[in-house]
């Protein structure tokens, strides 16, 4: 008798087996809240996704949030990507009503008193194109002028806003040649060829259009699974250094693989000095694009052990973060996904190999029945171990009518890292939302990491860290030979490692500053390996401060 036969026999006796995992019941942590959830004065953004009875798939996928200091005043500002106006019947040409202020993307400038001012219009960011339904945002100083630029992804055409340095932005998409097209999702700036200029990677989800849209479900209409629509390639743009980019998707090998790309994150996982790319794919193998160092990439997710979850199944990958969670100096991957299996941890075993270890890391207990999107690995309690924060909510806005054990709106997951194993903690809010984007940064410059999240049809949530006793250090990199943002640098502080990037999460862009919790240590030793190859060491740096480290000119 096989197991299945045994189960079949037991079926009639009541010991039934379900093919899917159902939600956790005991999800309320008993610890003190790590965050205080507040709505800062001046932020009146609402993510308008415009759900319809036609269940256009784009409706359930936005929207991104970025934490950036666009005016270099030392305070983080917040940029939100809005969806658009979708109606049951969409006439051609498609119009998402993005000229209507209700559907604008929004930039909020932080004031010294912690309030925010909507500067969208004066910054020149008010109109996002009527044919564009908003998705995500990437931030990076692509022209090395010291001011962060903004790239907005859309279903439609993407937009690159150049930061003019005077509080305004200019749409330079046409000149730069980075509109992409189709359905772009997450994006990120990184320097894949170490030429000191930030390149741009864009994930694309599906070969989908309003005209090709389908509705799934039998009794009740739902959004169709990704396999309903053809897979599509991601896009890689090489920065020429003259304000234009070249689409090198085919030449680089990126376009050799079609998938259902959603999240993207960057790190040099094999220590060869070149930044690699991980794409979280929905319901297909995950993509790990190894940077060959010659302008080309080889997709090796499955062969490197980073293609499938510990269960051996294809994750419905949504968001991803590429950082070192167990302080072994190697970047690991945390991929969020839909209910069926736990969120996936691909542990970097060294020698260019990964192994799925979400169960060992504790995610079998923390997830498996929830839907994760935006994700970060940040040291929220400054104890020297990166913790996980995940914003959650199911894809289907009517999932409860299908499955009473699943929820469209879910509270976020905060999991504190206890020496490589994650344990549920109190995020400070159990308010369920249809969470999507999440960006991480120190909003109030107190040395403790905060979070801003987005949720469909609602105002964003601001999670302000309540702080504690431990020490910290926050580093701003200033590249000279390397790109100005220092993206791609490996920074090690007192045995911890961070890979400099603003990318990761889902649709979102994080504070580019590198934050380290130092525990009880009052000083820090810092070692930086810049993308240029320059190694720089600082010893005995005092804790509890923000420092700027300029790339040394000597190797």
Q: Which stretches of the chain bind other proteins, using CB under 8 A?
A: 1-3, 6, 10, 12-18, 21-26, 226-227, 230-231, 258-260, 284, 302-303, 305, 308, 310-313, 342, 349, 353, 355-356, 359-362, 364-365, 367-369, 403-405, 421
Nearer to other proteins, 81 or 366 (CB): 366
Nearer to other proteins, 23 or 486 (CB): 23
Residue environment code for 167-188, b if the CB has 16+ CB neighbours within 10 A, otherwise e: eebebbbeebbbbbebbbbbbb
Cβ atoms of 178 and 196 within 8 Å: the answer is no
Minimum CB–partner distance for residue 212 and other proteins (Å): 13
Neighbour order of strands in the sheet with 77-80: 65-68, 77-80, 106-110, 116-118
Cβ atoms of 448 and 517 within 8 Å: the answer is no
d(CA 53, CA 63): 20
Please give the span between the terminal C-alpha atoms of the chain, in angstroms, as a whole number.
67
Minimum CB–partner distance for residue 197 and other proteins (Å): 33
Nearer to other proteins, 18 or 92 (CB): 18
Minimum CB–partner distance for residue 505 and other proteins (Å): 23
Minimum CB–partner distance for residue 8 and other proteins (Å): 9
The enclosing H or E element of 366 equals: helix 363-366
Nearer to other proteins, 13 or 553 (CB): 13
* SS3 assignment, position 233: strand
Return the closest-CA partner of residue 321 out of 531, 502, 451, 81. 502
Minimum CB–partner distance for residue 349 and other proteins (Å): 7
DSSP 236-293: EEEE-SSS-EEE-TTTTTGGG-EE-EEEEEEE-TTSSSS-EEEEEEBSS--EEEEE-S
Minimum CB–partner distance for residue 547 and other proteins (Å): 37
d(CA 194, CA 79): 28
Nearer to other proteins, 9 or 548 (CB): 9
Nearer to other proteins, 97 or 349 (CB): 349
Minimum CB–partner distance for residue 208 and other proteins (Å): 13
Dihedral over Cα of 169, 172, 176, 177: its sign: positive
Minimum CB–partner distance for residue 10 and other proteins (Å): 7
Nearer to other proteins, 18 or 554 (CB): 18
Question: How many Cβ atoms sit within 10 Å of the Cβ of residue 555?
Answer: 10
DSSP 50-64: ---TT--GGGGS---
Nearer to other proteins, 234 or 382 (CB): 234
d(CA 63, CA 48): 9
Nearer to other proteins, 47 or 388 (CB): 388
Return the closest-CA partner of residue 332 out of 308, 356, 299. 356
Minimum CB–partner distance for residue 57 and other proteins (Å): 15
């Amino acid at each position: 008798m096989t197991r299945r036969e045994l189960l079949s026999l037991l079926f009639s006796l009541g010991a039934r087996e379900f093919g899917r995992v159902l939600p956790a019941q005991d999800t309320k942590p008993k610890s003190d809240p790590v965050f205080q959830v507040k709505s800062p004065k001046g932020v009146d953004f609402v993510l308008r996704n415009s759900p319809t009875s036609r269940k256009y798939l784009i409706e359930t996928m936005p929207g991104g949030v970025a934490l950036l200091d666009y005016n270099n005043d030392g305070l983080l500002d917040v940029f939100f990507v809005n969806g658009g106006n979708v109606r049951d019947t969409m006439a051609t040409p498609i119009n998402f009503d993005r000229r209507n202020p209700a559907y604008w993307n929004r930039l909020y400038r932080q004031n010294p008193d912690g309030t925010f001012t909507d500067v969208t219009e004066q910054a020149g960011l008010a109109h996002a194109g009527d044919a564009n339904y908003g998705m995500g945002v990437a931030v990076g100083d692509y022209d090395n002028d010291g001011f962060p630029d903004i790239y907005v992804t859309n279903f439609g055409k993407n937009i690159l806003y150049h930061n003019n340095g005077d509080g305004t932005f200019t749409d330079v998409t046409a000149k730069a040649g980075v509109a992409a097209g189709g359905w772009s999702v997450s994006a990120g700036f990184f320097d894949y060829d170490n030429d000191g200029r930030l390149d741009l990677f864009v994930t694309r989800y599906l070969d989908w259009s309003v005209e090709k849209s389908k509705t799934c479900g039998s009794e009740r209409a739902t959004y169709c699974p990704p396999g309903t629509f053809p897979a599509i390639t991601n896009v890689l743009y090489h920065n020429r250094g003259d304000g234009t980019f070249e689409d090198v998707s085919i030449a680089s090998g990126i376009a050799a693989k079609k998938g259902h790309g959603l999240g993207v994150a960057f790190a040099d996982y094999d220590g060869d000095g070149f930044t690699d790319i991980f794409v979280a794919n929905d319901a297909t193998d995950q993509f790990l694009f190894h940077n060959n160092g010659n302008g080309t990439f080889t997709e090796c997710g499955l062969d490197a052990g980073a293609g499938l979850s510990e269960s051996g199944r294809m994750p419905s990958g949504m968001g991803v973060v590429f950082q070192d969670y167990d302080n072994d100096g190697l970047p690991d991957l945390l991929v969020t996904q839909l209910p069926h299996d736990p969120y996936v941890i691909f542990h970097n075993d060294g020698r260019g190999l990964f192994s799925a270890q979400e169960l060992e890391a504790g995610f079998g207990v923390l997830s498996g029945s929830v839907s994760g999107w935006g994700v970060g690995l940040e040291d929220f309690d400054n104890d020297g171990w990166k913790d996980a924060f995940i914003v959650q909510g199911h894809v289907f806005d009517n999932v409860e009518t299908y499955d009473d054990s699943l929820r469209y709106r879910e509270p976020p997951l905060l999991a504190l890292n206890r020496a490589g194993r994650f344990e549920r903690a109190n995020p400070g809010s159990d308010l369920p939302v249809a969470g999507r984007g999440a960006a991480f940064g120190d909003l109030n410059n107190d040395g403790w990491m905060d979070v801003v999240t987005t949720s469909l049809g609602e105002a964003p949530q601001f999670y302000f860290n309540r702080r504690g006793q431990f020490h910290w250090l926050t580093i701003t990199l200033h590249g000279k030979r390397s790109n100005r943002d220092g993206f791609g640098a490996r920074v090690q502080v007192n045995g911890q490692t961070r890979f400099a990037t603003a990318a990761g999460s889902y649709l979102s862009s994080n504070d580019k500053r590198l934050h380290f919790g130092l525990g009880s240590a009052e000083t820090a030793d810092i070692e930086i390996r810049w993308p240029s190859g320059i190694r720089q060491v600082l010893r005995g740096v005092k804790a509890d401060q923000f420092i700027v480290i300029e790339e040394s000119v000597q190797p």
